Amino acid sequence: MIKETLAEIDILVRSRYSILYLVTHEENRLEDLLGDLAQKQNKTLYSWTATQGIVKYSTTGKNQDQFQDPSVALNHVMEYKDPAIFLFKDFHVFLEDPHVIRRLRDAVAHLAGTYKTILISAPTLNLPAELEKSISIVDIPLPDEDELHELLLTMAQSVMKTNSDVVDIKKSEARELARAAQGLTLSEAENAFSKAIVSNRKLNADDIKLVFQEKQQVIRKSGTLEFYPSDGSLSDVGGLNQLKMWLNIRKKAFAPEAKEFGIPAPKGVLLLGAPGCGKSFTAKVIGNVWKMPLLRLDFGSIFSGLVGSSEENMRQALRTAESVAPVILWIDEIEKGLSGASSGSHDSGTSTRVFGTFLTWMQEKKSQVFVIATANQIDKLPPELLRRGRFDEIFFLDLPTPDARDEIFKVHLKKKKVKSDDWDLRKIITMSEGFSGAEIEHSVTEALHFAFFENESVSIKHLEMAIKKIVPLSVTYKEPLDNLRSWAQNRARYAHIQPKSSNTRSSDRKIEI
């Protein structure tokens, strides 16, 4: 990965592009990589920082204080005679200054025919409109497995020089550790490996856990992603027989044999439906069912980020998710984050671009990141999202049918440890027509309150009382639900189909395929 990126930079510099914008958090790693590149091209590499001015690469000390000012430094670049590469570190913060912008535009024209190149490095992409057309952007990828492997071996060797019994790492284990460290920057990986050596004076596959802990830290710092603790099983979800079956079939697609069989990595699923029908609930259990980590992506925080542009936040989040693959990426109520993308609201430009980044990623992604997105409203979703090739499947979760209500009641009665095996639920199921799963859960809780208040054990009577007090979603949410239903009719798969033979006592029937 990094080799390809460097080859790209090499070509751009050789073809005399004036200014490149390199997005990375790792300026030291970048500087070293550029040092090699400059040498290959017989050019001198200079680095500029706001505190040190311009300093020749690999020499220390010798500050050239007069070049600390960004405009003055740019002038110096233009006056400089010999072939050279100038790396301007953290220059994004100066790109709001009209003088600097003007100087850069001058530099674009001036450098075009010369063997000099300006490289801007910054952790986020922040390019003013005036410069968009004349500066090329290159994303510097995080270190890949090979680079991390090399780092690990170098570290192991240097420790062994002083203390030969400390580090003894098998080839296969070194590879595994390097793979586990993907998603960390080079210096974060270095820290993780050092910790691993110090912790048990060894470096082996046992240290993978430690590396993963380090990665959790990184994810926590990102602010847009969080590891979501996933528990429960699909039997906790009542109804949704088609969705559950589909998920069981997809699960196998992550096995290495599946790839050999010709099965592409699953992309993901969109769960669409009325509130309280089990969309988020299903997402929450699936991590545990598939034994994969569940990462929740907060679309809102992508837009409200204090640092960095929304687009960059999105790219970063997706990159991080890929680095911990195989993983499930859960985006709850996706329409909330996208509200600007389809309507003409004032920030629709940003939303559309951020959303475009996401869509392209969905379309092209080869990594084992399974997206599970949920949505309550269809009219807020841009049509591109629903096109084939983005999600593997779109499921519509309607209000539960009688057999599904039967299952949901049983799930929640069992959860509350109510002894109800011999209850005849037929009346309850009829009475709860139009209830969502959440309302069924709520009525069970209410029944508990009534019984507790009357000092009795819970019975059907309490459940009936509770149900009578609840106005069902089919009434309170009628219009949006009708809209959803008519949209979903030909465009989505039904998450649940009540088998034809089923009556309300459905507990012992099988799911039909």
Ligand X SMILES: Nc1ncnc2c1ncn2[C@@H]1O[C@H](COP(=O)(O)OP(=O)(O)O)[C@@H](O)[C@H]1O
CB of 439 to ligand X, least distance (A): 8
Instruction: Decide: is 438 part of the binding site for ligand X (CB under 6 A).
Output: yes
d(CA 15, CA 181): 35
Closest to 237 measured CA to CA, from 276, 272, 285, 273: 285
Q: What does the DSSP assignment read for 20-64?
A: EEEE-S-HHHHHHHHHHHHHHTT-EEEEEETTTEEEETT--S--B
User: In this chain, which stretch among 150-158, 272-280, 317-325, 391-399 interacts with Mg ion, using CB under 5 A?
Assistant: 272-280
Our CB check for Mg ion shows the closer of 289 and 428 to be 289
**10, containing H or E segment:** helix 2-14
Q: How far is the CB of 282 from ligand X (least distance, A)?
A: 7
Residues 367-386 that bind ligand X (CB under 6 A): 374
Which residue's CB comes closest to ligand X? 437
Sign of torsion, CA 204 205 207 211? positive
As measured in angstroms, the least distance from the Cβ of 326 to ligand X is: 24
Backbone angles phi, psi at 296, to 5 degrees: -100, 130
Beta-sheet strand order (sheet of 44-49): 53-56, 44-49, 84-89, 116-122, 19-23, 136-139
Residue type, 393: E
Of 183, 223, 268, 275, the residue at the interface with ligand X (CB under 6 A) is 275
Shortest separation between residue 280's beta carbon and Mg ion, angstroms: 3
Q: Give the shortest CB-100-to-ligand X separation in angstroms.
A: 48
Q: At its nearest, how many Å lie between ligand X and the CB of residue 310?
A: 25
DSSP-derived letter for residue 207 is G
Binding mask 384-403 for Mg ion (x = CB under 5 A): --------------------
**Candidates 8-16, 119-127, 219-227, 437-445 — which segment interacts with ligand X by CB under 6 A?**
437-445
From candidates 53, 276, 402, 472, binder to ligand X by CB under 6 A? 276
Residue from the set 53, 143, 183, 239 that interacts with ligand X by CB under 6 A? 239
Residue 268: contacted member of Mg ion, ligand X, none (CB under 5 to 8 Å, by partner type): none
According to CB under 6 A, which residues from 143 to 162 bind ligand X? none
- Pick 240 or 292: Cβ nearer ligand X: 240
Question: Closest distance between Mg ion and the C-beta of residue 339, in Å?
Answer: 16
Does residue 348 interact with Mg ion by CB under 5 A? Answer: no
Side-chain-side CA neighbours of 252 within 13 Å: the count stands at 10
By beta-carbon proximity to ligand X, the closer residue of 147 and 403 is: 403
For 20, phi and psi rounded to 5 degrees?
-120, 145
- Spell out the SS3 assignment of 413-480: HHHCCCCCCCCCCHHHHHHCCCCCHHHHHHHHHHHHHHHHHCCCCCCHHHHHHHHHHCCCHHHHCHHH
Q: How many CB atoms lie within 10 A of CB 349?
A: 11
Dihedral sign from CA coordinates of 377, 380, 383, 388: negative
Q: Candidates 88-96, 128-136, 221-229, 433-441 — which segment interacts with ligand X by CB under 6 A?
A: 433-441
Give CA–CA dist 297/330, Å, rounded.
6
Binding ligand X (rule: CB under 6 A), the pick from 394, 441, 472, 484 is: 441
Looking at residues 273 to 302 of the shown chain, list those that interact with Mg ion (rule: CB under 5 A).
280
- Binding-site size for ligand X (CB under 6 A) equals 17
Using the rule CB under 6 A, which residue among 118, 119, 277, 492 binds ligand X?
277
Tell me if 279 contacts ligand X by CB under 6 A: yes
Q: Which two tokens stand for residue 21?
A: 């914008």
Q: Which is nearer to Mg ion, 75 or 280 (CB)?
A: 280
Q: Which is nearer to ligand X, 266 or 437 (CB)?
A: 437
| Sole residue written with tokens 């910054």 | 122
Q: How far is the CB of 302 from ligand X (least distance, A)?
A: 20
Nearer to ligand X, 86 or 290 (CB): 290
Q: Which stretch binds ligand X (CB under 6 A): 2-10, 17-25, 42-50, 238-246?
A: 238-246
Question: Which residue in the block uniquely carries the two structure tokens 């009688």?
Answer: 402
DSSP 318-339: HHHHHHT-SEEEEETTHHHHTH
What's CA 276's distance to the chain center, in Å? 24
Q: Which of ligand X, Mg ion, none does residue 437 bind to, with CB < 5 to 8 Å depending on kind?
A: ligand X
Q: Which residues would be at the binding site for ligand X (CB under 6 A)?
A: 237-240, 275-281, 374, 408, 411, 437-438, 441
Q: Which residues would be at the binding site for Mg ion (CB under 5 A)?
A: 280
